[in-house]
Structure 1
């Protein structure tokens, strides 16, 4: 299958992700990280399945994702919740999808993450702004799945700088004690392990404003993708779950933030997008410092079973 465009480390394909995934070699991908269209109760210009149809729509895609994953690979799925049409209750489609991925597709749910977007607009307007009976919904789910419970992962690659309090504690040391909660605190608690382990809450806005992608798309007189993936999200999981040279795939690439971050981090990448306009404009992310194509790059695509 001919790529729509390629870089030194990656290839972008135009087409329906289910059909493109069928051409990816079995057990060839180290990480799938993606954000498909959500099952919102109103239609978006980039397309989205209804709440009642969502699980049936996504399951065949999930099964292809599982097939192309290596045994130690991970599947990271960002998906937002939504509201039931006309009444102020939450849709259950997210939970139904997670159950189906585990019970029907036999994925293991390894951990939930929560993406807090401080720039998100108050919604739904009727319940939050008009009637004032709900609060602003600013959190989305990120589910981490694996084919196996023991996938490749190392949180030492994503350690954060210690807080000032922890720095003082490391310097001062602690005495052996037992907290009221029952946790045993000993001298190892104050040992310097290189940084703090991050929590499963990610704070990131999707309001990039000065990137090559934004500037270039506007210069062409076209719309930027309305639901762009913040770079901090794929960055965290790529660093956490892969090694340099590993293959990262995004079947709903949009403006191809995942591929761009993967290339920055020295990983190979595959992007799939249904909209030619979105995929064409996503090339603008790679405009600065574009590198020469690698003529002997491994081809990750082949007929299934060949």
Structure 2
């Protein structure tokens, strides 16, 4: 939660007019981004031995504000009380690759990161792809710094155009896993957008993919949506995101759930070691039949469900933030924990397979692939983001970075 608030705090100033906010505007902007009920800003809690009451959430946000100050991201507006703004360096724009730009930003023995638009970056690829794992820009009413298509149809067309060129390079039985938001609504309405359903149909109809599963990623999201669950008591809070899993040939799919087994519970271990079920039983009109000895074989682990619970906190994210600070780079507004791509890479590929990320961001998919001994390729069109992602790979065998990235900071 603290890491999420830090990211929301940074993006609040990045998206503000002239990078400037009053404290009240800052609190409101973070609450909206984190899907926090604005009423929480007014709640007080007794703190310390004297029991003095403080505005708890506002107190936390002030600490995040001070973190940004220490990092040189924001500064007080001279002569103005309670108004902060982006520093000159932080307020500069990022460099975005045009459609003609394709540059090998950095590489290791196992992979390559390309600075460029994903629709062009992999044009010369001559290796079969075993897995595409990616988290594209979400369909949001308020785009992040890297932008996103604004309408449902534009979004569907955008995703299909980004993934379409790679379909010719997919190995038989290869998979696509795409992380998508469950927080998109019809503009001005509490009705949820049907973009997810339309995108699934488009990926099947246009790209020839087949839906294998809708894996739910439960990450401990903050309460939301703010407008329709917090401000107005209409919707239930959203508790998860989707990771849609597609395949180009289900008969040859390379998945193996034994590669992602979870530890047995103490209770299950006790059942297995004691010989399993002792008595016959039938439930649900015979749909479930228990026989003596069933579950009595000690196995390597239990099968995971299609609901994965992985918090947003991540040591790699913390390391990225620290290195970005040292290098004078902007913070990415939406950083996925490495454990999510790690799960799907283990589930859907084998060592030596090729994993591709079309929207590389901070390089978490590539990082997970590198650690798991998979070959990888990623594309990212924001120069400052791909420079920051390179910091994850400096210790890996064969690391090389293009000299043009050495001095990358905010654009002038």
Same fold at TM > 0.5: yes
Alpha-carbon distance in structure 1 between the residues aligned to 2:349 and 2:242: 21
Contact map agreement 1:41 1:84 (CA 8 A) in 2:
no
**Residue 104 of structure 2: SS of its match in structure 1?**
coil
**2:266 is equivalent to residue 159 of structure 1:** no
Q: What count of residue pairs does the alignment treat as equivalent?
A: 291
Q: Which residue of 2 aligns with 1:21?
A: 122
**2:379 is equivalent to residue 272 of structure 1:** yes
**Aligned with residue 207 of structure 2, among 99, 105, 118:** 105
Map 1:234-245 to 2 at 5 A: 234-245=341-352
Deviations 1:128-149 (A, max 9, x none): 2222322321211111111101
Q: Which residue of 2 aligns with 1:171?
A: 273
**Aligned with residue 73 of structure 1, among 146, 164, 174:** 174
**2:135 is equivalent to residue 35 of structure 1:** yes
**2:356 is equivalent to residue 249 of structure 1:** yes
**Residue 161 of structure 1: SS of its match in structure 2?**
coil
Of stretches 181-190 and 9-18 in structure 1, the one that deviates more from structure 2 is 181-190
Of stretches 138-147 and 166-175 in structure 1, the one that deviates more from structure 2 is 166-175
**Residue 270 of structure 2: SS of its match in structure 1?**
helix
Deviations 1:211-237 (A, max 9, x none): 431210122333321111211111111
Map 1:169-248 to 2 at 5 A: 169-172=271-274, 173-174=276-277, 175-180=279-284, 182-186=287-291, 187-208=293-314, 211-248=318-355
Of stretches 246-255 and 101-110 in structure 1, the one that deviates more from structure 2 is 101-110
Q: Which residue of 1 aligns with 2:74?
A: none
**Aligned with residue 149 of structure 2, among 12, 27, 49:** 49
**Residue 285 of structure 1: SS of its match in structure 2?**
coil
**Aligned with residue 145 of structure 1, among 241, 246, 256:** 246
The root-mean-square deviation of aligned C-alpha atoms, in Å, is: 1.8
Structure with the largest fraction of helix: 2
Contact map agreement 1:214 1:224 (CA 8 A) in 2:
yes
**Which structure is larger by alpha-carbon Rg, 1 or 2?**
2
Of stretches 56-65 and 278-287 in structure 1, the one that deviates more from structure 2 is 56-65
Residue 72 (structure 1) shift: 1.9
Alpha-carbon distance in structure 1 between the residues aligned to 2:372 and 2:142: 36
Alpha-carbon distance in structure 2 between the residues aligned to 1:171 and 1:68: 47
Runs of 5+ in structure 2 lacking a partner? 1-101, 401-412
Alpha-carbon distance in structure 2 between the residues aligned to 1:270 and 1:195: 32
Residue 196 (structure 1) shift: 0.2
Residue 123 (structure 1) shift: 2.8
Contact map agreement 1:59 1:105 (CA 8 A) in 2:
yes
Alpha-carbon distance in structure 2 between the residues aligned to 1:86 and 1:141: 23
Contact map agreement 1:211 1:285 (CA 8 A) in 2:
no
Runs of 5+ in structure 1 lacking a partner? 295-306
Q: Which residue of 2 aligns with 1:135?
A: 236
Deviations 1:273-295 (A, max 9, x none): 010110000011123x343359x
With a CA cutoff of 8 Å and minimum separation of 6, indicate the structure with the bigger relative contact order.
Answer: 1
Alpha-carbon distance in structure 2 between the residues aligned to 1:193 and 1:65: 39
